[in-house]
Amino acid sequence: MGQSGSGHIHVASRQRRSEECTVLQADVPLAVVEEILLNLPAHQVVRVCRLVCREWKELVDSASHWRERCRREGIQPCDASRTPEDWRLFYFLTKKQHNLLKNPSAEDVLQGWEIVCNEGDGWAVEGNRKPFPDDTVTKCFVTSYGLCLKRQLIDLKKEGYNAAFTDQVQPHIKISDWYAPCPDCGSEYQICVELLDQSKNPIRTFQPEKVVFPSGNSEPWCQMTHVFKDYGPGVRFIRFTHGGKDTRFWAGHFGIRITSSSVEIYSAEG
């Protein structure tokens, strides 16, 4: 009896939804329906409205719907000549894009970072001595006369990127790091970023040669960037490690300065 009643309710509910959809189709032009959908939250349109009926599904699945959403919200490809292959994916990746690193500009001292090496007088935080391209960034991490390294481990699942998505889509992963030497003292900068599997074994690694600055230099802030592409399935974590030291072994903090680090996941057309 319970199963029969439950089945009857399910069928009735489905019939009711079909009847409501038929009424909407008869009374409301699809152009008006799409305008309504465009004014609803995107996740609601995908999770709820798309399931109403075949016509609504086709609207929600159309490239034109997501292209129009992007236009209205000012989301456009960096290169206008490259049209996204999947406008819905492009929309959601762009909306979700943010820096996955915590405390990238020393606003919370060393919070969020794991200290790997803390030699000499160790890590410190100072105000920027040189003008930074972004005037909202006012602080930096400073190294000492011994090697100073710090790192963060990013768990992609915790950040909302599930395994199936990462494996199938393989969105671009861009890293960026800003560094500058102390003008009075020579210094050395290094960085290593690894894409790791579930067991935290490296799948791809970006580790350029160390950058060495001589004493008496007047170098401005420099930016290190890299984009991981076509890295294959299995990426579950990102390990970001950077640091350096001074080359004159001066007591205090005259080594490389680092700030405004970032790891971002984005669409290939972003």
The CATH number of the domain where 83 resides is what? Answer: 1.20.1280.50
d(CA 211, CA 244): 9
Strand partners, 141: 125, 258
Q: Output the pTM of the full model.
A: 0.74
Instruction: In whole angstroms, give the CA distance from residue 102 to residue 97.
Output: 14
**pLDDT average, residue stretch 114-143:** 95
> In CATH, what number is assigned to the domain containing residue 199?
2.60.120.260
* Residue 137, domain member (yes or no): yes
**Interacting residues of 240 by C-beta distance below 8 A, sequence separation 6+:** 101, 151, 152, 154, 175, 193, 261, 263
Say whether both 129 and 205 belong to one domain.
yes
**Residue 244: enclosing H or E segment and its boundaries?**
strand 237-246
In this prediction, residue 132 carries a pLDDT of 95
**Same domain assignment for residues 37 and 77:** yes
Specify whether 86 is located in the same domain as 217.
no
**pLDDT reported for residue 16:** 52
Residues 128 and 253 in one domain: yes
Counting every residue written for the chain, the total comes to 270
Q: How many CB atoms lie within 10 A of CB 101?
A: 21
Amino acid at 163: A
For 167-222, write each residue's pLDDT tens digit.
888 889 999 999 999 878 889 999 999 999 999 999 999 999 999 999 877 889 99
**pLDDT at res. 258:** 97
Q: Which residues pair with 191 in a beta bridge?
A: 242
Please state, in angstroms and rounded to a whole number, the distance separating the CA atoms of residues 134 and 88: 31
Give yes or no: residues 83 and 131 share one domain.
no
Q: Per DSSP, what are the bridge partners of residue 178?
A: 223, 259
Strand partners, 230: none
DSSP 50: G
107 lies in some domain? no
Pair 20, 131 in one domain: no
Please give the pLDDT value at position 60: 86
The model's pLDDT over 23-64, given as tens digits with 9 standing for 90+, comes to 445 566 878 888 888 888 888 888 888 888 888 888 888 888
**12-32 pLDDT tens trace:** 444 554 444 444 455 668 788
Average per-residue pLDDT in the chain? 85
Residue 243 CB contacts under 8 Å (≥ 6 apart), including other chains: 116, 117, 143, 147, 148, 149, 150, 189, 190, 256, 258
Same domain, 135 and 257: yes
Q: Is residue 182 part of a domain?
A: yes
Can you tell me the distance from the alpha carbon of 49 to that of 60, in angstroms, rounded to the nearest whole number? 8
How much of the chain is helix, strand and coil, in % rounded to 5?
30, 30, 45
Please tell me the predicted confidence (pLDDT) of residue 251: 84
In a domain, 103, yes or no: no
Our count of domains for the chain comes to 2
218 & 144 share domain: yes
Which residue segment(s) compose the domain that 168 sits in?
114-266
Indicate whether 131 and 249 sit together in one domain: yes
pLDDT band at 9 (very low <50, low <70, confident <90, very high): very low
* pLDDT band at residue 10 under the 50/70/90 scheme: very low
Is residue 104 domain-resident?
Answer: no
48 and 164 together in one domain: no
What pLDDT is recorded for position 30? 79
Decide if 6 is inside a domain: yes
Q: What is the pLDDT of residue 118?
A: 96
- The dihedrals phi and psi of 58, each to the nearest 5 degrees, come to -65, -40
Q: Are 43 and 176 members of one domain?
A: no
Question: Is residue 97 one of the residues assigned to a domain?
Answer: no
Same domain, 134 and 205: yes
Q: Is 239 helix (H, G, I), strand (E, B) or coil?
A: strand
| 102 found inside a domain | no
